[in-house]
Structure 1
Amino acid sequence: MTSPFGVRTHDDGDGVARLVVRGEIDSDVSAAFTEAIMGAAGQSGVSTLVIDLRQVSLLAAAGVRSLLEGHVEAARHGCAFRVVNTQGIVERVLRVAGVIEVLGVDSAPARARR
């Protein structure tokens, strides 16, 4: 059984906001996912938005669309945008969709690089 969809926002310091996402990102939750990304990208003082997908078990086309819309919104606010901790089916979907470079996808654990 998969966990229900959810998003938590963390302040990583130095203008970095991290959205930690869990569950399945499909058409049923894509509007809420997009709203969370847009809200974080528009926050004052945020210079980098990191979308952490470590706990995501499924990424449907609607979720890819949410990420792309978030990328555009972040750029509109002058905010860098990165997607981290992709693995398994989530990384494969992003690769097949051809958005790895556009979204700044990094499958290596973000915390390990610090």
Structure 2
Amino acid sequence: MPVVATPDFTISQHTEPGGVLRVCLAGEFDMSIGDALAGVLVAAAGRPDVTRVLVDLERTLLIDSHAVAGLVRGYEVATAAQREFVVINGRGMVQQVLDVTGLAEVLCRRA
């Protein structure tokens, strides 16, 4: 289970049955880690054993435009590779950002 972590955020991932890769984000995702988030999501979408990338925001406290860009980049790569990319469990301000940007309609579906 690869993990990227600092005192402010953690990105962990684990495989689930059926080719699902769950990427769990915890903490605050701002401009300082937008590129790291994009890199993890692009790598996840490119794995040959993955059919679905599930980004779980349950423990995410903040996302800014850089984090949104990372989500979009992961979605683009997954779509190009004919893999599903779904964001779940956005709450509070995090879900508001997804709603205001219109990404909730594209990325957020039931898991």
Structure 2 partner of 1:13: 17
Name the Cα RMSD after superposition.
1.2
| Structure 1 ranges of 4+ moved more than 4 A | none
- CA distances 1:16-67 after superposition (whole Å, capped 9, x unpaired): 0000111111100111100110111011110000000011100101111111
Q: TM-score, normalised by structure 2?
A: 0.89
Alpha-carbon distance in structure 1 between the residues aligned to 2:18 and 2:81: 16
Alpha-carbon distance in structure 1 between the residues aligned to 2:12 and 2:103: 24
- Which amino acid is 1:32 matched to? A
Percent identity for Structure 1 against Structure 2:
31
Instruction: Extract unaligned runs of 5+ from structure 2.
Output: 1-6
Alpha-carbon distance in structure 1 between the residues aligned to 2:11 and 2:95: 19
Alpha-carbon distance in structure 1 between the residues aligned to 2:50 and 2:74: 14
Find the partner of 1:42 among 46, 57, 76. 46
Find the partner of 2:73 among 59, 64, 69. 69
Alpha-carbon distance in structure 2 between the residues aligned to 1:78 and 1:6: 27
- CA distances 1:72-101 after superposition (whole Å, capped 9, x unpaired): 000111100100011000000100111111
Instruction: Extract unaligned runs of 5+ from structure 1.
Output: none
Alpha-carbon distance in structure 1 between the residues aligned to 2:34 and 2:9: 10
